[in-house]
A = this chain, B = another copy of it.
């Protein structure tokens, strides 16, 4: 079965992602189910980081029958396919983030005042991680740099002065 390339399906905006996910599923010998697409779509409905629970709520909004179990079973597929990125900042639950085209290594700056997570491009870290790993005779597979920071303008701004996602890079 071929992937259609030009006819409009359910949610046009997600066309590329849906195609990619479908290809991923097929390549893995997994089944292409409606639930999986709903959860993919719900992931991309979040503009920021989201938790499994938030994804469940968002998915239920699209299809009320989606269950928590399916969320937890589908997330690993979305991550493996590269469409969703996992962001573990050491809280009880993990955060996830739809991958909307970021290609450089991301660092998270976590505001200890407002708890927001800023994503910052940090391409240099890729080289650095490789250097550190090399010294141990190892090859880096993934890495994370997270910085807990206090807002210097504390109190000036009820929403903690910055947009949720920043795209500065260092």
Contacts and interface: CB of A to CB of B under 8 A. Distances in A.
Nearest to A124: B128
A141 interface: yes
Interface string A143-170: 1111111111100000001100010101
B136 A168 contact: yes
B122 A137 contact: no
Nearest to A90: B88
A59 to B, nearest CB: 24
Given A120-B136, A135-B170, A136-B162, A150 B146 contact: no
Copies of this chain, tallied across the complex: 2
Contacts of A70: none
Given A107-B132, A128-B170, A170-B131, A137 B151 contact: yes
Contacts of A162: 136-137
Given A143-B147, A145-B145, A138 B120 contact: no
20 contacts: A109-B132, A109-B133, A109-B136, A112-B141, A118-B136, A122-B132, A128-B128, A129-B145, A132-B147, A135-B170, A136-B166, A137-B161, A137-B162, A138-B151, A139-B149, A139-B150, A141-B148, A141-B150, A143-B146, A144-B144
